[in-house]
Amino acid sequence: MSVSSTVFLGTPTEKTSDGFEDTYLFDVSRVYKGDLASVTSVGTLANGNGCGTSYVLGTEQLMFVSAPYDVDAEHEGHSCGPATETGFDIQAAVESVYGAGYAPSPGGTPSVGVSADRSAVIGGGAAVALFAVLGWFGWKRRRAQ
């Protein structure tokens, strides 16, 4: 529980795949850790590669997810975390640590594709590179004069 950035109870409602990565949309019913809207996206590597996993559409699940690393979604799910299919009541353990949880924030548009954080980093890097090139050309022009 402590290594997951977000813990929630939700139902996968839709799946898209590009063959390398699967992205699921979840209707979130309860949040135990983190801050979520009522709909969120969870990406995972397809075919079980690199701890990738799959989810059964329409089946509510307790989710332990992390910030995205290998996927373009709001969260990354993996099979290398806690197993929720065992006879152990993991939801009771989660509630003993985080309480009964709370309802997700209303609304929400899941991010599928490049996240806003990545877009800011990419855009910032491009701006720095552009200014460096323009500065170099200006310096070369002044030296030539």
The pLDDT of residue 41 is 94
The pLDDT of residue 22 is 92
Q: State the residue for tokens 């009522």.
A: 38
User: Sorting pLDDT into bands at 50, 70 and 90, what band is 72?
Assistant: confident
* pTM: predicted TM-score of the whole model, two decimal places: 0.67
Quickly count: other Cβ atoms within 10 Å of residue 97's Cβ.
11
Distance, in Å, from the CA atom of 52 to the CA atom of 16, rounded to the nearest integer, reads: 14
Distance, in Å, from the CA atom of 23 to the CA atom of 17, rounded to the nearest integer, reads: 6
pLDDT in tens, 77-104: 877 765 555 567 778 888 888 888 888 8
**3-state SS string for 7-36:** EEEEEEEEEEECCCEEEEEEEEEEEEECCC
- Report, at the CATH architecture level, how domain 6-113 is classified: Beta Barrel (2.40)
For residues 128, 131, 133 and 138, what is the CA-based torsion angle, rounded to 10 degrees?
-160
